[in-house]
């Protein structure tokens, strides 16, 4: 990843297709990520947006923040609707009913709409090879309904349905590795992105959009409301997630893994956890256990990267 500072932001697209004035919470990392993604996507697009935070905050009747063609779908059928749009466009162009303007199809969903409820439709759409881009904005729980756990909630995090107390230690299962599931479909492009690294995020969304066939980008979105953290720490917590190895930035192009940012030394996860109220209850032994797992997972990823470069080199 290139370390662009100061001057390059002035070269980023100035058009805002995700308009301000929406009802996202103060410090929302997801709204920031959607804004950056919209800059990379441009205006020649049809967006299918699952129920979730971004649908709730950006489309309250009679207002909307979307300056591109946009359709609201249910939790479970975002990928199905997106594949329908893509197939419909293809058919209408073939029959000469509309000119071929190379309109792109983008599906947007939160972590609940992707890793829990929408997984079946997404798996089918990726397997059928529709030419679309799927963006998952992962804020690690069902936030707009009141912070219920999803299968993307990290181990130990306190949510309203996995509360910390005498009986429960917060979330009892490990975060589902959704990018790996997408990569296992052998689709041409899978990536993880983080709005704390804006140029990397825009580059990946654009790359996914240009890919022929299904592309999946998993975008980490800090949620100050649900994670119990101050809204001014969104960017810092996002950077710490990558620097601690909790959310590594990588891409999988035609099965080849590439790590985009490899910090010289991983930071301890406590620097990430101590900023958030959802991990406050964790005793040191549980934190040590999580630290162990994070390092193991990071090593596993690095092995995949090493294997990929080995194949590419030899």
Q: Which stretch binds other proteins (CB under 8 A): 10-18, 67-75, 90-98, 140-148?
A: 10-18
Question: Does the footprint of other proteins cover residue 236 (CB under 8 A)?
Answer: yes
The DSSP code sequence of the chain is -----TTGGGGS----SB-S---PPTT-HHHHHHHHHHHHH-SSEEEEE-SSHHHHHH--TT---B-S-EEE--STTHHHHHHHHHHHHHHHHHTTSS-----EEEEEEEHIIIIITTHHHHHHHHHHT-S-EEEEEE-SSBTTTT-B--TTSPTT--BTTB-BSSS-BS--SPPP-HHHHHHTTT-SEEEEE-TTSHHHHHHHHHHHHHSSS-EEEEEE---HHHHT--GGGHHHHHHHHHHTTSS--EEEETTEEEES---SSPPPTHHHHTT-GGGTT--HHHHHHHHHHHHHHHHHHHHHHHHHHHHHH-
Question: Does the footprint of other proteins cover residue 212 (CB under 8 A)?
Answer: no
Nearest distance from residue 44's CB to other proteins, in Å?
8
Question: Does the footprint of other proteins cover residue 61 (CB under 8 A)?
Answer: no
The interface with other proteins within residues 273-302 (CB under 8 A) comprises none
Question: Does the footprint of other proteins cover residue 3 (CB under 8 A)?
Answer: yes
Contacting residue, 13, 69, 213, 255, with other proteins by CB under 8 A: 13
Question: Does the footprint of other proteins cover residue 6 (CB under 8 A)?
Answer: yes
Nearest distance from residue 200's CB to other proteins, in Å?
12
Q: Which stretch binds other proteins (CB under 8 A): 8-16, 33-41, 113-121, 296-304?
A: 8-16
Question: Does the footprint of other proteins cover residue 96 (CB under 8 A)?
Answer: no
Question: Does the footprint of other proteins cover residue 72 (CB under 8 A)?
Answer: no
Nearest distance from residue 100's CB to other proteins, in Å?
10
Question: Does the footprint of other proteins cover residue 26 (CB under 8 A)?
Answer: no
Binding mask 97-136 for other proteins (x = CB under 8 A): ----xx----------------------------------
The site for other proteins, by CB under 8 A, has a size of: 17
Residues that bind other proteins (CB under 8 A): 2-8, 10-11, 13-14, 101-102, 199, 236, 239, 264
């Amino acid at each position: 990843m290139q370390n662009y500072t100061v001057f390059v932001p002035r070269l980023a697209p100035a058009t805002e297709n995700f308009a301000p004035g929406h009802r996202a919470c103060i410090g929302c990392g997801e709204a920031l990520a959607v804004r950056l993604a919209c800059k990379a996507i441009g205006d020649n697009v049809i967006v299918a947006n699952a129920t979730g935070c971004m649908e709730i905050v950006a489309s309250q009747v009679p207002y909307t923040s979307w300056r591109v063609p946009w359709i609201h779908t249910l939790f479970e059928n975002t990928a199905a609707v997106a594949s329908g749009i893509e197939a419909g466009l293809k058919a209408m162009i073939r029959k000469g009913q509309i000119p071929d303007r190379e309109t792109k199809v983008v599906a947007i969903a939160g972590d609940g709409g992707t890793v829990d409820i929408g997984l079946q439709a997404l798996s089918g759409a990726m397997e059928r090879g529709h030419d679309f881009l799927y963006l998952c904005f992962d804020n690690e729980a069902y936030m707009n309904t009141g912070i219920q756990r999803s299968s993307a909630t990290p181990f130990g995090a306190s949510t309203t349905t996995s509360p910390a107390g005498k009986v429960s230690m917060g979330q009892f299962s490990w975060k589902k590795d959704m990018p790996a599931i997408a990569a296992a479909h052998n689709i041409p492009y899978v990536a993880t992105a983080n709005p704390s690294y804006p140029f990397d995020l825009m580059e990946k969304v654009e790359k996914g959009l240009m890919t022929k066939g299904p592309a999946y980008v998993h975008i980490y979105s800090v949620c100050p409301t649900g994670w119990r953290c101050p809204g001014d720490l969104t960017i810092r917590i996002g950077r710490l997630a990558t620097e601690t190895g909790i959310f590594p930035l990588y891409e999988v192009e035609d099965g080849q893994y590439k790590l985009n940012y490899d910090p010289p030394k991983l930071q301890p996860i406590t620097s990430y956890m101590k900023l958030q109220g959802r991990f406050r209850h964790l005793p040191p032994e549980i934190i040590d256990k999580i630290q162990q797992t994070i390092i193991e997972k990071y090593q596993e990823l690095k092995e995949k990267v090493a294997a990929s470069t080995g194949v590419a080199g030899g």
